[in-house]
Structures are given as C-alpha cells and as structure tokens.
Amino acid sequence: MIECKKLVKRYGKTLALDGLDLNVGDGEVHGFVGPNGAGKTTAIRILATLLRPTSGEAFVDGVSVTGDPQGVRRLIGYMPDFFGVYDDLKAWEYLDFYAGCMGIGAKERRRRIDEVLDLTALSDKREAYVDSLSRGMKQRLCLAHLMMHDPKLLILDEPASGMDPRARSEMREILGDISAMGKTVLISSHILPELAQMCTSISILEKGKLTFSGSVQALENKMNASQLVIRFACEPSEAQARAAIEKLKEELDMVAVRDGLTCWRIDTQENVMQDGEALRLLMAVGLPVCDFHRERATLEDVFMEVTKG
C-alpha cells in the first residue's frame, strides 16, 4: 500500500529525510515512531501530498504522490496532530459539509454519515454541537470525517495526543475495527506500548533514516534479549565469586558482571534449562542466592537502544 524509495527532503541545510525506504503492506496497521525531529511528520506530509520530496519517490497503492497527487488524495484520509473543527456546526452537519466538498451526493452522504458515526461510537452525539464535544470525541469526529469517502489508507499523526486513558482505549478499539475492514493505517505516535498493542508492524526513524522496520513479532524478538539478575543475601567471598564466575563462563558460556556488592547481571538469551543449570552451579559453590530472575527489555528499552545514535 505504501512504498517509499530513497526519499530525501532538505530544508535549506537541514536534512529531514535521508534516503528513506519504507514498505507497508495492504491491511497493515503500521506504527511510525522516532524522537522529536526524526523526520516522521515530514514523511507523513509527503505521503499526504502536502510536501514534495527533494528527491526519491513515494507511492500509495501504486499511485505516485508527486506524479498524481489528486489520485493519491482520493485514496487517503489524513489526520494531522492539530486540526480545525467548526464549533458552530452539529456533528452531522460537520460531516455533511466535508462530504459535500468531496463530491458525495446527498443520499449517499446521509448513509455514510450514519455509518461513520456508528463506527466511531458517536451516534448519540449526532445532534451535538462540535464545541460541546470533549477532546477525545473531537478526535473521533475527525476520524469519522476521514472515513466519509471510504479511503484505502488512513494516515494519522499522533491520533491519541491529549487524550485521557479511557479515550485512548476507545480510539484503539475503533482503529481495530477499521483495520478489520481491510483498511491500511499508518500511525505516528510517541506512546510506544500502545503502538505495540494496536500495530501489526512498526518502523523506528532517527535522523531521517530507518533504524528498525518489521513486524511486531520481530520487535518482540529484540525485546527477548533479557538480563539474568542474581542477588545474594550477603556479599560473596572473593574466592567463591571467582570460582562461580569461572564455572559460569566455562560450562555455560555466561559472562557475569558485578553490579554492586550483592548483585550480578548476565546478558544472555532466555533459556529455561540453561538458567536452571546456572542456579544449580551457584548453589553448588555455596553462594547465598536470595533472588534469581529475568529482567526483560521493555519497548522503551528497545527504542532507546535502536535510536542511541
């Protein structure tokens, strides 16, 4: 659905995108994350035909964003991080206005308004004025507006910005329903744990380049790199510690690193049998083990690791 080839965007001497290559398949919910200034919004605006790249190409469903921007606009719905609404309109009037701008006939508009209000759980707010809606409801109304012309791709820049936890949960459920309809969704966000819950694939951008792109499963595999944490009831003697460290290295190829007087850490892939052998070995040399557990990497840990440049 989305294909970017060597996208470059310069603002004077500033290089916002540095040869970006990105592929998102049909029906995916793709998370687009990165530190501030990484180039996410620039890439999104190019895909939404609001910016022209300095060089490179981008396609939506095979349609060039530079060669046929009008064709791309018929395929997408774009929600920026900050958007305007007309406060003196009712919710249905707001949708009716934009549907008219899109050239949708009056009869079709009525049907589509009912459908998108139901999809975004706003049917009971049909007659409510926009300025009476909460921040989360306005976000959902904007999402309903995007769905009026039945786009193939939704591009959402920080869709949960400013929402409370309940509103974010409701937005997550709605995006799940949209994905089930076969739509492709590209989401830019800094709320990393929520992205992992709702996305099928994720890209991490830093300084205009991808540092990771793949399935959530591939990202979880990176997260499986965990530390074995061992704590002792008291500081081991030097002789015991030396003997244990040597045995861990020789027998299990584990390198123990001391973290204070009573804690060791071992960087190694999780292996239940090997962990059990390590505990047995430590007990055999008489070390007073009081805590033995795996400390798993979080999504934030992985993000910090792949963007540490």
Give the pLDDT confidence score for residue 174 in this predicted structure.
Answer: 87
Q: Which of 204, 221, 238 is a domain's end point?
A: 221
Query: What pLDDT, on a 0 to 100 scale, did the predictor assign at position 206?
Result: 86
Question: Among 53, 32, 60, which Cα is nearest to 210's?
Answer: 32
Domain limits for position 293: 225-305
Could you report the per-residue pLDDT of 17-30, keeping only the tens digit for each?
A: 999 999 999 989 99
Which ranges in the chain belong to alpha helices (H)?
A: 40-47, 69-75, 91-101, 106-119, 135-147, 165-180, 192-198, 216-223, 238-252, 272-284, 299-306
What pLDDT score was predicted for residue 30? 92
- Domain end: 221, 245, 273, which one? 221
Q: Do 202 and 98 share a domain, yes or no?
A: yes
Pair (93, 175) in one structural domain: yes
Do 230 and 215 share a domain, yes or no? no
The CATH number covering residue 57 comes to 3.40.50.300
Q: Residue 170's pLDDT is what?
A: 82
Residue finishing a domain among 191, 221, 251 = 221
Q: Residue ranges of the chain with pLDDT lower than 50?
A: none
Are residues 168 and 140 located together in one domain of the fold? yes
Torsion of CA 37, 306, 198, 161, to 10 degrees: -30
Task: Tell whether 29 and 109 lie within a shared domain.
Answer: yes
What is the predicted pLDDT for the residue at 196? 73
Is the distance from CB of 257 to CB of 264 less than 8 angstroms? yes
29-39 pLDDT tens trace: 998 888 888 88
- Asked if 248 and 205 sit in the same domain, the reply is no
Q: What is the CATH number of the domain that holds 233?
A: 3.30.70.1150
Q: How many angstroms separate the CA atoms of 46 and 76, rounded?
A: 12
Q: Is 239 found in the same domain as 208?
A: no
Question: Are 51 and 98 members of one domain?
Answer: yes
Closest by Cα among 212, 185, 213, 211 to 199: 185
Are both 162 and 287 inside the same structural domain?
Answer: no
Which phi and psi angles does 294 have, rounded to 5°?
A: -95, 135
Same domain as 249, residue 203: no
Number of domains observed in the structure of the chain? 2
Phi, psi of 2 (to 5 degrees): -115, 130
Q: Are residues 81 and 96 in the same domain?
A: yes
110 and 29 belong to one structural domain = yes
Cα separation of 137 and 182, whole Å?
A: 24
Provide the edge-to-edge strand list for the sheet that holds 2-11: 14-24, 2-11, 55-60, 63-64
